[in-house]
Structure 1
Amino acid sequence: MIGEYKFYASSNELQDKEKIVILYHGWGGSSKGYMELAEEMAKEGFIVLIPDIIYHDERKPLENHFDSIVTRKYFWNTVLQTIDEFDEFVRVVGLKKKNIILVGNSMGGFIANGIFAMNPNISGLVSINGSGSFVLTEKTFRLRDKREGMTQEEENQLKKYDPMDKPSSLSPVLLMHGDSDTIIPIEGQENYYKYLTQEEKRTNIEWEIFKKVNHEFTPAMMEKLIGWLKSI
């Protein structure tokens, strides 16, 4: 079961729209918590869908997402399962991938990056305070928390989904991150940007660092997101 989704639009039409935003929320968040952002995008003419994510909302919600043991056990499982569910979600809702723009914040940024890397027909990606470099980010998590390194099995599992070294869609990408983020290390996003621009030689990639911003989705980030969506 892929669960429910929230639907926001300035029109009741869903089929054959040129730009449909699929918005993924962060760890421990809720689709309801993104209503304001979704409504702002809808005012600009975008259809916005917010999928319910496993272990959140009505889908086997965890009692305390921010308990460190719970986070370590379920974070990557949540990211990878949501990536796996994407094709079924698109089929059930009846969308065309070429019309989809992926937007994700925090954990949602990981999810959006992972989906983008596996679907060359997607029209665009916005990753906010997330990461497109899964293995590097997990290694950074463990160093920061003074934990053991990954086993080879754990690393191989992440590599299957890691956007690094995967030829992705040639569509435009916007990456945003606070330079003082203490939750999701900025290094993962920087590494992915370097991969796209240096290895893939992509020229339609924007990388914006927000000064003195911790793990937040600020009004300035929202303004940049809306402007970017309207420009592509």
Structure 2
Amino acid sequence: MKQFSCMVEKHLAGQDGIPVLACYVPGSEGGPLVFLQHGYTGCKEMDLQFGMRIAQEGYFVVLPDARLHGERRPPDFQQIFESDFYNRFVDVIEGTVQDITQLIDYFGRDEAGLAGISMGGFITFLAAVREPRLKAVVPIIGSPKLLPGPDTPADQPGLDRFDVIPEAEKIRPKAILVLNGMKDEIVRPDGVMQMDPVLRDLYRDIPERYELVLFENVGHEVTEEMKQRTVDWFKKHLPVR
């Protein structure tokens, strides 16, 4: 892996003042824009090392705080989610996708990449459907649909609000790499496995632009191999010129 010193800057970006970190190697400010989106209860700082790893390859990496997270986290965060978890979770996903569109405008780019972890993976799937300027996306330990847990009633309010599989055709021709652990009990791989035949059919004439990797002995975690595959995917499908 290349080793260069990275600059890290804090911005309050866009018309809504979205808190973000931007990291890049000096001289690479004009490199391809890549977003790295954190998970539930997390914040932008948590994934900075991963972001810097991507930036080492010449990318301009932006890590936003999701809605209601990080610097945007309200004092009553726990109560907000305890009272109506799935509806609030989907609100965060949808709002943060709107933020990503706003941030692409703010940084003045015609194309971008996006990787997201856990809740950030849900955000990545929805953004892949809604934002045409995204050219390469990597949902990591996320899901294209909400699934009930073992103790969750199937009719729990909000569960039916998030399912991008029926809109999968809008993802094509973006390059999409999906990374999940087979032993993940928090975000089970069932959703990505349901979506797999749909995407394989949609990408049958461009198979190099879709890949699902299921890690046999991995739970709800981001492994070194996942990180390296993410970097390699951007290098292949959103190359630094």
**Residues 86 and 159 in structure 2, CA contact (< 8 A), matched pair in contact too:** no
Q: Percent identity?
A: 22
Which of 173, 185, 190 in structure 1 is aligned with 2:188?
A: 185
Match of 2:200 in 1: 197
**Residues 64 and 70 in structure 1, CA contact (< 8 A), matched pair in contact too:** no
One-letter amino acid of the counterpart of residue 148, structure 2: F
Which of 12, 17, 20 in structure 2 is aligned with 1:5?
A: 20
Q: Structure 2: how far apart are the matches of 1:131 and 1:168?
A: 14
Alignment of 1:30-45 (within 5 A): 30-45=43-58
Structure 1 residue 21 corresponds to structure 2 residue 24: no
**Residues 185 and 219 in structure 2, CA contact (< 8 A), matched pair in contact too:** yes
Describe the superposition over 1:174-227 as per-residue Cα deviations: whole angstroms up to 9, x where unpaired: 110000000011011122222111245351211111111110001121122222
One-letter amino acid of the counterpart of residue 166, structure 2: M
- TM-score if structure 1 supplies the norm length? 0.83
Describe the superposition over 1:105-157 as per-residue Cα deviations: whole angstroms up to 9, x where unpaired: 1100110111111123321110111112x2xxx2x325x22324156x973x4
In structure 1, runs of 5+ residues without a counterpart are none
Q: Structure 2: how far apart are the matches of 1:73 and 1:121?
A: 27
Bigger mean CA offset, 25-34 vs 164-173? 164-173
Q: Structure 2: how far apart are the matches of 1:66 and 1:178?
A: 29
One-letter amino acid of the counterpart of residue 192, structure 1: M
Higher helix share: 1
Match of 2:67, SS state, is coil
Match of 1:172 in 2: 175
Match of 1:55, SS state, is coil
Structure 1 residue 115 corresponds to structure 2 residue 127: yes
CA 1:195–1:21: 2 relative to 1, 3 Å: same
CA 1:89–1:185: 2 relative to 1, 3 Å: same
Q: Structure 2: how far apart are the matches of 1:230 and 1:200?
A: 20
Bigger mean CA offset, 33-42 vs 184-193? 184-193
Q: Structure 1: how far apart are the matches of 2:65 and 2:221?
A: 21
Q: Structure 2: how far apart are the matches of 1:64 and 1:20?
A: 33
Match of 2:227 in 1: 222
Match of 1:102 in 2: 114
Q: How many equivalent pairs are there?
A: 218
Q: Structure 2: how far apart are the matches of 1:182 and 1:67?
A: 20
Describe the superposition over 1:25-49 as per-residue Cα deviations: whole angstroms up to 9, x where unpaired: 1111111100110111111111100
Match of 1:228, SS state, is helix
- Structure 1 stretches (4+) deviating beyond 4 angstroms? 65-70
In structure 2, runs of 5+ residues without a counterpart are 1-15
- TM-score if structure 2 supplies the norm length? 0.80
